Structure 1
Amino acid sequence: MRPISHAHLRVIEEPDTPVSGKTVNKWELLRELSKSQAAFGVTERDLTVLQGLLSFFPHDALGGNAEMVVFPSNKAICERLNGMACSTMRRHLARLVDAGLLVRRDSPNGKRYVRKHGEERVAFGFDLTLLYRRSEEIARAAEAVREAENRVRRLREVVSLMRRDIAALAEFGEEIQPGLGLWDQLRDTAVLTARALRRKLPLEDLTQFRRQLEALLDQARNVIDGPETEEMVTNDARFERHHHNSNEESMDLEPGLGTAKTANVAQEDESPAPEESIEEPDTRRAPKIPLHLVIASCPSLATFYDGPIRHWHQLYDAACHVRPAMGISASAWEEAQRCMGPEQASIVVVAMLQRFADIRSPGGYLRALTAKAAAGEFSCGPMVMALIGRRSAA
């Protein structure tokens, strides 16, 4: 009664034998199909009709040796679908058949019914076998959709955190270098990004926002870092004071640094520029993030350390002071300094102090970060920026 189509040929191609194997919950399968509906070219209304058909199947599980043909009349289907128009229902049924999720098994007169001949049972209606056989394909498509959604969600969180960092840097930059147009640009970008994040943005738009914010963050850090970084790299006397002032108090904590200094002193008679051999390791490991940004992100340090912190060696002394109270062993502290450098290790310790309540094992956490630093996979910058983001969100 209907024109021949690929759907009718599919009935011939599929073997007319019972399906055996593991069973699949029909409602879980419907949820997976709902998640991956775009991959199969069906809509929510199509799935509503499929849900109505599944409700006529007497078992919750598809598969096994059970016959999976349902034979409700059009009137019964429409009643199950809360009075959907019959023409609308037939249109959605046709879409499900064309998508390869249902198979029509028509009787000679086009009606849907079941007939028994002794032990033999013949049913004419909609066969759910194809839906069952594609259950693994549907599950894979649904998992791919979830992974794509997770990528978008993670990227959205990154963009949101970068927006907070930009807003915090704009306020901080205005305090130390007022009047620059860059700070207005950062504030405007933060406001526009916040408005854009109210919408559901696709992955491409979020990636574009991330590139834009990364460029602005790098520009702002270069402006803020510039003078202090230059001072850290070029001021030889600062490095001499650092080693001289901290050597007596921390020789037992820094055997690596002490050995390095002893070696440098031993080479004074042979080398015409001994200060260069002292400065080179610290310059290579010097953190790019400015000291004042570290202090601003860790206000808890002022509670446990009373001295002024205006230079990196003072931050190092503060980290040495709070380290035992945090339960960090001397060996973990020594290893962190060896792999990170004293300045970056000090930043990590004070950042851990700021989040001390959230860290169950400070010593183990520091060793984990040290292992990442030894592999070249760690930078203290994101820790500080995350603390600034938490403060701005509070």
Structure 2
Amino acid sequence: MTQRLATTPFGRRPMTLGMISSQVTARAVPKDATVHKWHVFQDIKDARIALGATDRALAILDALLSFHPDTALSGDSELIVWPSNDQLIRRANGMPPTTLRRHLAVLVECGLIIRRDSPNGKRFARKGQGGEIEQAYGFDISPIIARAEEFKDLAEAVRSEKKAFRLVKERLTICRRDIAKMINAGIEEGVPANWGRVQHAYQAIVGQIPRTAPRQTLEAIAEELEGLWAEVREALESFVKTQKVDAIESGNGRHIQNSKPDSKFESESGLRDEEEAGGNVADTDNVRSLPKRELPLGIVLDACPDTLWLVKGGGGIRNWREFLAAAEVARPTMGISPSAWEEARTAMGEQQAAITIAAIYQRQDQINSAGGYLRSLTDRAKAGKFSVWPMVMALLRAKLEASKAAGNGAETAAVDLETAGKVVRTESRLEISDALRRSLNKPGRGS
């Protein structure tokens, strides 16, 4: 083949500096360079977005490469193909002529092919006497060799970015799943923590995730989620470790005994009547003797049955989450301010504060100031002098005493037996100190 003469496009198509740059790159191809055309084409497909090529343009490039008989392209071989538009349309799966022309121009703009137009714009090859091609007009695919390393580097960068994006998406998915389920487990198992705050923080972070976002944005959000994940995990693990220690101590019979079993809390000024009505007069040291385990939900509902009235639709309370929702409904009905409620949740833990609200709601007709009473109990909780165990036990005993006073019929006797059985079973599970049991057994306690 003789020298290439055509360097500008035929017809109205203008010459651009990009075309000149492609031609310069093509002339710089080493004669000994050899590439596998389909391997390079795969790199081009992977780097398609970085190159600015379209899917249709790549379909046309695939067809153009198929017109070259060799799989291995070398720098010293003939690299011009001259298929007609009809031939290209057939190999491009019936692409419309206007679409074909538009995406051929895209290939030229991306520097993937070079136009070698004849004087009349036709594509053909002129052969000599020996059958060798002397001059060819069509599409020069020499950029496939000249830019092979560039395409490979771009493809590797795109693959690495896709992998990093996939990994950060996986991190986000796993973090979201873990945090949501750990929060549910913490609420269901009664782990002491401000789960309302944790849920709010989780929703705030998740709300930042856009529908489409670059990897860097997702990386920042994933780091925030992982920080919250570590916080929730630490709360659950600390609770599990505490439970194991308590179980070991309970199995060995090592209980903290009260050195002053008859000492009582001093009632806060103006709130003595409310404390006695709620059954919360407890010994300071007896609070330390209480087990660290959480109260079973069934026992709490037996002691505070009025809480069931707060459930929407009149259904029952099946788990701690529904119990916490009922407590949220009870709080404003008793005139307890949001600040008092938040302070109680911080000092006691969300579940313990909800049990306290339910107990106050159960005896609200005997309490003058529910908000002041809750603040008093919150102060005691901050000092480590408050537990919901004696409060719930007192309500159960009050329920038993009330059933005894109602009459001696068979139905009343059955209620007595059931309530007394629950109290006995609960106390047998508590493994509390003798001093606390004597305090709970005092006549008139909790009435």
TM-score, normalising length from structure 1?
0.50
Match of 2:223 among 201, 211, 230: 211
Alignment RMSD: 4.1
Residues 10 and 202 of structure 1, relative CA distance in 2, 3 Å threshold: closer
Match of 2:97 among 72, 76, 86: 86
Measure how far apart 1:101 and its partner are. 0.9
Structure 1 gaps of 5+ residues are 232-237, 239-291, 293-394
Match of 1:53 among 64, 83, 101: 64
CA displacement 1:290-334 (0-9 Å, x = unmatched): xx9xxxxxxxxxxxxxxxxxxxxxxxxxxxxxxxxxxxxxxxxxx
Hey, which of these two has a bigger chunk of helix by percent? 1
Matched residue type, 1:212:
E
The whole-number CA distance in structure 2 between the counterparts of 1:172 and 1:106 is: 72
Residues 105 and 174 of structure 1, relative CA distance in 2, 3 Å threshold: same
DSSP 3-state at the match of 2:136: strand
Aligned length: 236
Match of 1:20 in 2: 31
Residues 16 and 224 of structure 1, relative CA distance in 2, 3 Å threshold: closer
DSSP 3-state at the match of 2:187: helix
Measure how far apart 1:165 and its partner are. 3.0
Match of 2:145 in 1: 132
The whole-number CA distance in structure 2 between the counterparts of 1:185 and 1:14 is: 59
Match of 1:72 in 2: 83
Residues 224 and 84 of structure 1, relative CA distance in 2, 3 Å threshold: closer
Match of 1:160 in 2: 173
The whole-number CA distance in structure 1 between the counterparts of 2:80 and 2:227 is: 60
Measure how far apart 1:170 and its partner are. 1.9
CA displacement 1:162-215 (0-9 Å, x = unmatched): 23432343244225545755168449949x969x79x77642443243133223
Matched residue type, 2:152:
A
CA displacement 1:24-59 (0-9 Å, x = unmatched): 222222221111111111111111111111111111
The whole-number CA distance in structure 2 between the counterparts of 1:145 and 1:104 is: 28
CA displacement 1:228-276 (0-9 Å, x = unmatched): 9999xxxxxx9xxxxxxxxxxxxxxxxxxxxxxxxxxxxxxxxxxxxxx
Structure 2 gaps of 5+ residues are 1-9, 244-248, 250-292, 294-447
Match of 2:46 in 1: 35
> Are 1:143 and 2:156 matched, yes or no?
yes
Measure how far apart 1:225 and its partner are. 5.8
Matched residue type, 2:226:
E
Q: Which has the higher contact order (CA 8 A, sep 6+)?
A: 2
> Are 1:122 and 2:135 matched, yes or no?
yes
Contact 1:70 1:125 in 2 (8 A): yes
Contact 1:170 1:186 in 2 (8 A): yes
The share of aligned pairs that are identical, in percent, is 34
Match of 1:220 in 2: 232
The whole-number CA distance in structure 2 between the counterparts of 1:22 and 1:141 is: 19
Match of 1:98 in 2: 109
Residues 11 and 206 of structure 1, relative CA distance in 2, 3 Å threshold: closer
The whole-number CA distance in structure 2 between the counterparts of 1:14 and 1:23 is: 16
Matched residue type, 2:65:
L
DSSP 3-state at the match of 1:47: helix
Matched residue type, 1:13:
V
